[in-house]
Structure 1
């Protein structure tokens, strides 16, 4: 990618991954400035957060399995 490419914006995430955003040409007035109208925003939080609660430990009934296959 060119260093001064006006159609692409590149950022490096906290974990080292690189992300590239490119905007196609558009006649939309809100996008008239292309990527010049965008600016980086600092993250509001990092990490994964709390783990979800565990599923109840009950045996699956054969009817429930059959209904899952039907999309019910």
Structure 2
């Protein structure tokens, strides 16, 4: 089961901070991040990659995006 970070309505750097906290402290290997701006999508993707994670999917979700991140093993 994937953990979910709902960062819709938050401005940067909050989506990045919440995502990094889940990467570091969460028990799940997969994280779904919900964001509502292009900037947040790009910043969260970049932050996840910098932590050794892989962004396996980015899909439009309503007025925002759903990013699926796989944590490094």
Same fold (TM over 0.5): no
TM-score (norm 1): 0.23
Relative contact order (alpha carbons < 8 A, sep ≥ 6): 1 or 2 greater? 2
Greater share of strand residues, 1 or 2? 2
TM-score (norm 2): 0.22
